[in-house]
Amino acid sequence: MPGLARTLSKLGFCSRAQAAQLIRGGKVRVDGVVRRDPETPVRIGQDRIEIEGQPVAAAKKIYLVLNKPRGIVTTASDEKGRDTVYSLLGADVAWVAPVGRLDKASEGLLLLTNDSEWAARVTSPETHLDKTYHVQIGTIADATLLEALKKGVRTKEGDALRVKDASLLRQGERNSWVEIILDEGKNRHIRRMLETLDIEVLRLIRIAIGPLALGELANAAVRQLTAEEKLTLDRATKQNTKAIAPRR
């Protein structure tokens, strides 16, 4: 049986961290009894869960697409008082959590949902779901650089990082745009690779997650993921997982 905090997250009420805080604060009852341990086992659909006297039921699943602007952080709150992605959603949107992250200086496609299990499938390393980025760099991208990105680098922290593919989009006199595809995603993956190669990142925009493209969604705009788009994403995660499943 899942723990109480995980159950509240699965029901789409709040994040596991927020749930744990509510539980430890004595605000959650299970079958009329206050439970202060976030790991308290719960039978979903059988046990009655209440928060501050109000019954908790499974929330309607929400799937959002956001075109994240530069300068916005991907967190629920920020200790430095910076604007977060939640400032773009509006007060009437129920609780959702980002599916993965984009750092403060990065832009583009960000998914948000209250479906924690779906989010875990989309971000799982096992699915190897491609993420596509357009990156403006402060140099001309030649064949040597593109090959170095595909071959991989070792950062000063000792991490081995690589990209699935890298290609030149266009170039000017002093800078160029490169399309980079990742099938894994470590913290600040692209930025750390380019920093290791002593290359400045001017802009970094995520333009696709698997088959889902950012398209013409305006900067800072948010919309619902369509049923067709979700189905296509679900199919992609399943196909990728099957493709790498070990043979029995």
* Residues marked as catalytic: 103
d(CA 82, CA 85): 10
3-class DSSP state of 213: strand
Rg (CA), the chain: 21
d(CA 210, CA 140): 28
d(CA 119, CA 115): 6
DSSP letters spanning 145-193: HHHHHHH-EE-TTS-EE--SEEEEEEE-SS-EEEEEEESS--TTHHHHH
Q: In degrees, to the nearest 5, what angle opens at C-alpha 114 toward C-alphas 108 and 117?
A: 100
Diameter of the chain measured on Cα atoms: 69
Report DSSP state, residue 86: G
- Residue written as token pair 């049986």: 1
Torsion over CA: 14, 182, 134, 82 (sign): positive
- Residue pair 20/37 in contact (Cβ under 8 Å)? The answer is no
